[in-house]
Structure 1
Amino acid sequence: MHPDSTETLAVSPALAQLQALRRSGRIRAISIDLDDTLWPIWPTIAKAEAVLLDWLRLHAPATAQQLGDTATVRALRHEIVGLRPDLQSDLSGLRRESIRLALQRAGDDPALAEAAFDEFFAARQRVDLFEDALPTLQFLATHWPVVALSNGNADVHVVGIGQHFHASLSASLSGMAKPDARFFHAAAEAAGVAPEHVLHIGDDAELDARGAMDAGMHAVWLNRGGVAWPCEGREPHVTVASLAQLCEGLAES
């Protein structure tokens, strides 16, 4: 378009919705998911499981041999979910107990589970942020209190982004998990506002977007893959293709 043209460029529905929310003054805090919102989770987990196997080869070789590869490590992690339903929302506890079970089955010392988990957990914190993640956190934190709300067990301070957060809540430490409305309400309380004044951002349609709406929050569904809304009933308040698009919509014009 010629720079002197008076024709107005169309604003996408997502940007228009975000701009309207910003102008309304209803957004006084942000809650945001971590895994698959700020970084891809499965490459991170795969690397951490490889680190775990390397540690076991040195300290519990029988266990390492019996596990064999990361696929078996993950299968055992899924098995423990059925054996320990009390740990359903505690990913750290589930991982620790899956390691303990592997050690017991191989005849190694189950007490090694704590040290083995520590190796896994340290590697789990070494994430590769999406390109738009850090600029988004920097932008959000200059305008609102930001609360991390995760069903995972990442520690934002160990990851190296803690300075952008007013608070961080994880299912492992809170005993609650999304989409439980109490978990969302805990995030609002941590930010010092009512739930209706929180904008929640996350990649999971059911856990993040639907969960936030059911808790009385405004929901932004981060849909990087451009897939159709998979849930029945109402759709999220806003759908964005990237965190960069989110910032563009929330920026002051």
Structure 2
Amino acid sequence: MPLFEAKDLHLRFGDRVVLESVSLAFEAGQLSGIMGPNGAGKTTCFNVLTGRYKPNRGQVLWQGDDITGKSPQDIARLGIARSFQLMNLFDEFTVFENIAIALPGTRRRGHDMIAQAYADSALVDEAHSILEKVGLAGRADDEAKSLSYGARRALEIGVALACRPKLLFLDEPTAGLGSDGRARLADLILQLKGDLTIVIIEHDMEFLFSLADEISVIHWGQVIARGAPAALKTNPWVEASNLGRLN
């Protein structure tokens, strides 16, 4: 049984059909990709999977349980985290504080969470462990707004990891990154791969092909192809795209 599954998702905005009979399955421990051209329905699909939109028809299943229509907060509490195409960070907080306030142990305390996080050595150690994992151990005391764009991407992933997810959704993680930033991000994702289940929406096809175990191609609001990267290179849609020129 897949860890996370979507069955026959259908969504329309007014008269416009944006998702039609979309079915996806993500296996535990795998890195799955979703790709397609701009406007294909990729991010809309992500928004349905993570509770921002409720489908008009179909089901979203988590470990076999129907979670269709649950709020993003309820879905996050199940162990499903998401990073966004547009980053959501507390710019005036330090790098450490951004991680610390996302930790479940900090959130349970409610009042004056940051002060309590600094005072609890276990929470401090957990936050620094995450910063080490995402390559920001040396920037813990810097304000988030001082980070480069690539470092902010790493911090956003760190914030998602602080929620202790079983499944991590990444929405266009390479957006705005140069070649060096993409290489560092790929290294980070490879470190995380296997420790948790990862699903990436990505327009950078070469980046996604280098990481994913399986990729689903969405176009015109439908899944038009699915398979391992090597197999997809011979798919007619892929051959007509930039992927057809990959070695």
TM-score band (shorter)?
under 0.3
- TM-score, normalised with respect to structure 1: 0.27
TM superposition score normalised by structure 2: 0.28
Q: Which has the higher strand share?
A: 2
Q: If you compute each CA radius of gyration, which structure gives the higher value, 1 or 2? A: 1
> In proportion to residue count, which structure has more helix?
1
